[in-house]
Each structure stands twice: as structure tokens, then as C-alpha cells.
Amino acid sequence: MKGKELTRQDIIDLLKLDDFTPIYEEADRIKCQQKGKEVLIRAIIEYSSYCQMRCQYCGINGENRKAIRYRMSKDEILKAAFGAIDAGYRTIVLQGGEDPVFMTGEILEDVICEIKAKDKDVAITLSAGELSDEVLEKLKKAGANRFLLRHETADRELFARIHPGKTLEERVDRLRAIKSLGYETGSGFMVGIPGQSLESLADDLLLIKELSCDMAGMGPYIAHPDTPLAGNPTGSVELTMRCVAIARLLLPNANLPVTTAIGVLDMDKRNSGFAKGANVVMRKVTPEKYKAAYQIYPAKPVKTDIKKERNELEEIIKSMDLIPV
């Protein structure tokens, strides 16, 4: 298939392969050629667990009465950001639920300006949901560089079912708006959402290609007990890694993370993801008192020691003969 555009059927056939090794090798070859040995490490600050959305899979969806809600103050966000910069991080990802208090962009605008005032070369990535054109523009002007908004699934009906009141078209429209405003744009999807098929995964991969994504995050679906989709089986890490590898074939120059959800399930696989097409990893630097409340999917609570975790991760990356950045 080398040198030819992958069709939907090609992708389905690849996903089904008994032995995927040659594709992983090809993805690694392209990654090394395009990205060298660098592994980009990002710091995530989860600034709010309030959310007006009702995503059926997500632990912080607005209808989960059991979710603990918090909203970090501007000073708390800045303290976490500066702590991450001091520890060596060059990208700060600001992520939150669709919290109306943040969706006007005022707080984020101030936060962005203050981070840039401290170090203008630190990149700021927003992962803040479906924002209006006006707010997206304001935050871009303030200095935000990148925006993450996964399309979650390219299956129109499945999208509507798991996102009550929302449509795939609106989501894709936001992604196009983000791109046209000059943000480096990241989409992505979950693997193993109940009702998803290999055909729809092929469409997910073709959609990130069609959108010319600069970044794409793919993670296995992990059931959260306090959501309408509780009790469903977890998505396959292997199938997720196959999607990452195919994404590398489709978008040779993209930044593709070994997502946190992959890491939660299998530490070793997360590491070897850097040999299968991925070149990015993210670390939570959310203060400990909030971290446990930001449960998109159930995860073991881990302490936050920004410097120590950064150092440990750098050592792991170096031990793989790669260069942490």
C-alpha cells in the first residue's frame, strides 16, 4: 500500500490484520523521519470540573450528581502553570468541562496573557469545548497557540446518541473555525465506544485527515460507573494503538500523543507507543486537591509532584533512546 492514499476499505483491512507489526514499523519509520527522536511532553491543568454537556460516557457530565465540582481560581491556575514551566514544560494545556463561567473566555484570556508575560515562548493549548467564534478569536489574540477538541466519533447517529442535543456537524464546524483562526488544531476520538464499528473507526481516521489535523488524540473508552454508559466493556488498547499508527500514515507530520487513557490501562504499552507512531505524552499538573475530582473516567488518584514526575518521565524517555522535550 506504500505510496498510495489509504481508502476506507484499506483502513478497515489494516485494522483487522492478524499481525500488525509491519504497519507499526512503517508508522515508526515515518515518525522518526518526520519527528526525529523527540518526545514532546505537555502539562495539563484541569481548571474546572463543571460541565453543561451531557456526554453519556463522561464522568464529569453535567447530569452526574455524584461528580465533585470545583473551579480553580486564576491564581491557582497560574501557580500550577508556573510550577510546570519551572519543572521544564514548554506547553501548558488548559483543559476543563464546558463550564459557563469559563466559556466567556475572560478568565482564560487573563491566564493566557499572564503565562505569556512570564515566558512568551511557552505554547498554550486550550481544551475547553465548543467555544463561540468570538471567544475563540479573543483567546487566539491573547496568545493561545493550539486547540484540542476531539470529534469523539465520526458516526453521525452514534455521536447524536452519546451527546444529547448535539450534532457531529456542529462539532466539525467548531473544528473548522478553530483551524481557520490559525490555531494548531487537534481532534481525535475514543476507541471502543459502545455501538462503534471498525467502519466508523476508519471514518474517524479519514476525518482527522480531511480536517488536516495538526494533532490527534486517540484513547480507549473506559466505562465510568456513574454515567449512562456504565458497565460497558473497555476499549482495546491494541486497537487504539493501531489507530494511532494509521493516523501516522495518514498525517505524517502530526503530533500524536500516547494518550492518558492508554497509560491508565497499561504502562508498558504506553511507553512502546513511541515506537508505533506516537511522539507526544501528557502529564497532569492539576493540584492534588482537585485532581481526584476530575474523573472523566475512573483512574487511580496519583499525587502531584510536578518536578519529580517530569524527571521520572524524562528518565523513561531517555532510557528508550529518545529525547524528552
By C-alpha distance, which of 193, 224, 191, 219 is closest to 296? 224
Regarding 221 and contact with ligand 5AD (CB under 6 A), the answer is yes
**Which spans in 94-187 are helix H?**
100-103, 106-118, 133-142, 156-162, 168-180
**Residue of 31, 35, 150, 248 that binds ligand 5AD (CB under 6 A):** 150
Sequence-ordered alpha helix ranges (H) in the chain:
8-16, 21-35, 74-87, 100-103, 106-118, 133-142, 156-162, 168-180, 198-210, 237-250, 260-265, 267-272, 288-291, 306-319
Part of the chain binding ligand 5AD (CB under 6 A), chosen from 108-116, 161-169, 221-229, 312-320: 221-229
Please report how close the Cβ of residue 147 comes to ligand 5AD at its closest, in angstroms.
Answer: 12
Name the amino acid, one letter, at 8: R
Report in angstroms how near the CB of residue 114 gets to ligand 5AD at its nearest.
24
Nearer to ligand 5AD, 216 or 322 (CB): 216
Residue 36-65 contact track with ligand 5AD, rule CB under 6 A, x = bound: ---------------------xx-------
Q: With CB under 6 A as the contact rule, which of the stretches 10-18, 40-48, 216-224, 266-274 interacts with ligand 5AD? A: 216-224
CA dihedral 281, 282, 283, 286 (to 10 degrees): 180
- Per-residue interface string for the shown chain with ligand 5AD, residues 255-294, x marking contact by CB under 6 A: ------x---------------------------------
Q: Considering beta carbons, is residue 245 or 296 the nearer one to ligand 5AD? A: 296
Closest CB to ligand 5AD among 81 and 282? 282
Query: By C-alpha distance, which of 166, 201, 202, 207 is closest to 186?
Result: 207
Distance of CA 94 to the CA centre of its chain: 11
Identify the residue among 190, 201, 202, 254 touching ligand 5AD (CB under 6 A).
Answer: 190
Rounded CA separation 203/251 (Å) = 14
Q: CB nearer to ligand 5AD: give 237 or 317.
A: 237
Read off φ and ψ for residue 256, nearest 5 degrees: -120, 115
- Judged by the rule CB under 6 A, the positions of this chain that interact with ligand 5AD are 57-58, 150, 152, 190, 219, 221-222, 224, 261, 296-297
